[in-house]
Amino acid sequence: MKLSHSMQERHWDYVLGPPRLDLDADWSGQSVLASVASGQEIIGIPLNLDLDAPFLLRSLAVRCAYPVDNVGCTKTQPLDSLYMRFTGPVGDYFQQDFVPLNLFLSFFGQLGNPRAVFREVQYPAAGAIKVDLLNNGTTTLKNVSIYFRGVKLFPWGRRQAYTYPERMKTNPFNYPLTVSSLGVKQVIRNIQFQNVQDADFVVRSSQGGLNETTGTVFEIFFKFKDENQYPYSNVPVHADVLFGQASNESPNTFNCGGTQIQAFETGPGNPGLWYPEIYIPRQHSLFYDVYRDDSLYGCAATVNYPFTLNGAKVWPL
């Protein structure tokens, strides 16, 4: 195996917004983005990048909060009226003017379909991305969030870098996990996932979603961290973006041509990928925080929220 890269890549999601939940301080100090009113144009929203590492932007996603008054608790984000443009590392725009996001991003980059940035963009440590937004529709978009997904670059040895043994054997394996009795409005921090199996485990993708006959989950966010508590995102990432979509979950629908269409070719076979994958040696751990605020949704209830870490077992030979 030959390495062509002199730096260690590490999965990283930068999130612009949403405003912090009032039950948690994790969003404090971060760039936030609140509602975008009908017809509103916001210019130059800064996303300040971390000081510790350069960032390679490789994909995009966007979402907003599900409308509270939706009929039958369907999951439709009225994002077809949102237009965006953003800047590169020296403040140069990558779009000549506002671009409608319903054209730019399939499923808005959600459900395991991040929109490829098909020449990665390298931003320096402590750099900034500026985002312009326009809501060209008649509905206020609440908690608009822009996801800049990619990798951070570290000198080898700066961060945890477990990897495969020289000689090994692998086998596909899934770790089903459940966030038990997750309340309608609740934060649970530092849940420990320990790899207690007979082999190392490498996380390549994750899948989540509710498969219960009662209750629906709308605004649920995850923040994963390695065993040194160094996170994989600046703020929690919504499950719609981080995971795929379980097949029995309440389906996401998307505005299209004056009607709504259901997402297709998403589901269990199209999970949210981690790049690079996360290698967890035997007996080692991964941590995650869960945030949920569905207090405004009438059909929300306390649930056991299932999600899965998919990947492979690795046995040294």
Partner 1 sequence: MPAPHYQLIKQADQILSKCGRPISSFPGQNIVPFQHGILIQGTVGNDNTFVLTKEIPGDVPFLLRAIQAPSPTGLYINLQLPNGKYLFNREQEISQFQGIGSFRYVIDPEWECPPGSTFELTLDNSVVPSGGTVGLVLMLEGALKYSVKGKNPAIQDRQLSVSDLPRYVKNPNQNILAPAWMQGYYPNTPDSCEDSIFTYGDGNLNFTTMNVGTGPYSATQQINISSDSDFICSRALFDVRQVVGGSSPAGTFLARLRAGSGYSLMDDLIDVAQYINGSPFAHSWHIKAGDQVFVDLQLVDFSGSGSLTIETYLDGLKRKRR
DSSP 257: T
Question: Residue 106 interacts with partner 1 (CB under 8 A)?
Answer: yes
Alpha-carbon span 220 to 236, nearest angstrom: 9
User: Which of 288, 180, 178, 193 is closest to 236 using CA atoms?
Assistant: 288
Window 243-262: residues binding partner 1 (CB under 8 A)? 246-249, 257-258
Phi, psi of 12 (to 5 degrees): -150, 135
Alpha-carbon span 15 to 235, nearest angstrom: 6
- Residue carrying structure tokens 């510790």: 52
Cβ 317 to partner 1 shortest distance, Å: 5
Alpha-carbon span 102 to 135, nearest angstrom: 12
* Residue range at the interface with partner 1 (CB under 8 A); choices 29-37, 68-76, 158-166, 233-241: 158-166
Window 42-101: residues binding partner 1 (CB under 8 A)? 56, 58-59, 88, 92, 94-100
Nearer to partner 1, 187 or 237 (CB): 237
Nearer to partner 1, 28 or 213 (CB): 213
Question: Residue 172 interacts with partner 1 (CB under 8 A)?
Answer: yes
Q: What is the rounded end-to-end Cα distance, in angstroms, of the chain?
A: 17
- Quick one: which of 274, 287, 291, 297 contacts partner 1 (CB under 8 A)? 274
Cβ 311 to partner 1 shortest distance, Å: 9
Cβ 196 to partner 1 shortest distance, Å: 9
Question: Residue 302 interacts with partner 1 (CB under 8 A)?
Answer: no
Strand order in the sheet with 41-48: 41-48, 128-135, 82-86, 99-100
